[in-house]
Amino acid sequence: MVERQKQNFFLHLFAASAPLLLAVLSSCGSPAGTGKRPAAEQGDPVAGQVFRKIGNRPLTDLAAGASFVASRCLFQDGNPPSHVAMNSSLQKAPAKAREELTALLSALQQARTTAAENPAAPENEAVLPGRIYQLHPQSDWIIDLSIGELPGAAGQVQAACNLRNKGEKEIAVKATAPMLVRFLREEAAAALLDEMKRPRVPLEQHYQALAGFLDTGVLTETELKRTRRLLIARLGKSKNKAALVSNLLPHLDSFDETDMAALDSDGSIAPRVFYLAWSASRGTKKNMRELLVLSLEYHGDALLFQRALTALFAEKDNPGLYALNPPGKGKEGALAFLRGLRKSIGKAGYHSEKGWLLEP
């Protein structure tokens, strides 16, 4: 009887202490080291009390710029987008990059205050960045920060912030942070190249994402040489050559004759388009003509040809062409753009500094 009472006592004691024990175990470990978020995200009521302490405290009080870690980079190449894992502490970033991150946090806090004072304020216009970097403080996940590169001027970003604070919506701002972007690019490119080292087998998306780093200035000469070699070699083997070429076309200037020699004899249409566009970008008029002739024959690849020709005729230098013949988003629109370009191609000329110019 006494033994049974002892057993019941210990069972009751264990049951009473189990929630506290689980909470303690859940709090062990670091998000940066384990890749798992704290238990508060999983609905744990005890750990959740930590996040309720955010209250109205400014973001700059919650975490300093140097305390953040970039955990991954997303590439907008599909749905869902592919990504590469990172573990890059901002502590090793240049001081200016950390200052820019702190300024971003201040801008987000200002937007947060404005939204609280005027809930009906219009939301920021959605923009689809090419690369998105996800950051969080080293110590916990109290702030989820996404920094997306915007097209146009170097260093333009859209920063979005999610707080682990009940009832708060995402806040977003646009700003300029060139040093921060450069640091994140360098770290993402290094992580991507490391992910593609043997014995790993790179995915098709790895090559497409790698193409986007060609003319960013963040690759060393050795890395750039390896990148070009990887991309050209893959172009001959890829199952989706058109997709890879579409990612390479904006970076024609990154390649030289040695890189392109292997493509001159490739019979596939996508590598041929890339080779002709590269030659035409150096003023070779006969290859420009061949590109236009092929666009008549391969209607199924209209979007690829449109991509090649928009890379050759820069919009900023050919506003009249784009006003009369705006590029299409689908096949029919692309065919219309190509027809308009072919009609006026006789007026086109090559400029050594600006490339191809055509003002109809």
pLDDT at 227: 93
Each residue of 140-159: pLDDT tens digit?
A: 777 899 999 988 667 899 99
The residue count for the chain: 360
> What are the helix (H) ranges across 149-177?
none
Task: Check: CB of residue 356 under 8 Å from CB of residue 335.
Answer: no
Residues 6+ apart with CB under 8 A from 293: none
Q: What are phi and psi of 55, to 5 degrees?
A: 50, -130
Give the tens place of pLDDT for each residue, 98-144.
999 999 999 999 998 887 777 655 455 555 567 999 999 987 777 89
pLDDT cut 90: percent of the chain above it: 54
3-state DSSP helix/strand/coil percent for the chain, to nearest 5?
55, 15, 30
SS3 state of residue 90: helix
Residue 163 predicted with pLDDT over 90: no
> What is the mean predicted confidence (pLDDT) over 254-282?
88
pLDDT at 43 over 50: no
Indicate the burial class of 351 (C-beta count within 10 angstroms; 0-12, 13-18, 19 or more).
Answer: exposed
| pLDDT band at 254; cut points 50, 70, 90 | very high
Helices vs strands, H then E, count in the chain = 15, 8
Residue 87 near residue 171 (C-beta atoms within 8 A): no
Residue 18 pLDDT more than 70?
A: no
DSSP 12: H
Three-class DSSP category at 140: coil
**What is the predicted pLDDT for the residue at 261?**
82
| CA angle centred on 143, ends 18 and 46, rounded to 5° | 15
Q: Are 241 and 231 in contact (CB under 8 A)?
A: no
Q: What is the mean pLDDT of the chain?
A: 82
Cα of 225 vs its chain's centroid, Å: 22
Q: DSSP code of 102?
A: H
Q: 289-303 burial string, b = 16+ CB within 10 Å, else e?
A: ebbbebbeeeeebbb
At residue 360, the 3 state secondary structure works out as: coil
Q: Any idea which residue has 């963040």 for tokens?
A: 218
pLDDT for the residue 164: 73
Query: How far from 113 is each of 116, 118, 121, CA to CA, in Å?
Result: 5, 9, 11
What pLDDT, in 10s, does the model give residues 279-306?
Answer: 999 999 999 999 999 999 999 999 999 9
- H or E stretch including 101? helix 95-117
Query: How far is residue 288's CA from residue 193's CA, in Å, rounded to a whole number?
Result: 34
User: Is residue 356 within 8 Å of 350, Cβ to Cβ?
Assistant: yes
Task: Quote the tokens at residue 200.
Answer: 């790993």
pTM of the model: 0.77
Predicted confidence band of residue 65 (pLDDT cuts 50, 70, 90): confident
Residue 25 has pLDDT above 70, yes or no: no
8 A C-beta contact, residue 281 and residue 292: no
pLDDT of residue 64: 84
- Cβ neighbourhood burial of 258 (10 Å; 0-12, 13-18, 19+): exposed
Question: Tokens 């050594």 — which residue?
Answer: 352
State the pLDDT confidence band at 31, using cuts at 50, 70 and 90: very low
Sheet arrangement for strand 143-149: 82-89, 68-75, 131-137, 143-149, 156-163, 171-176
Q: What is the pLDDT of residue 127?
A: 54
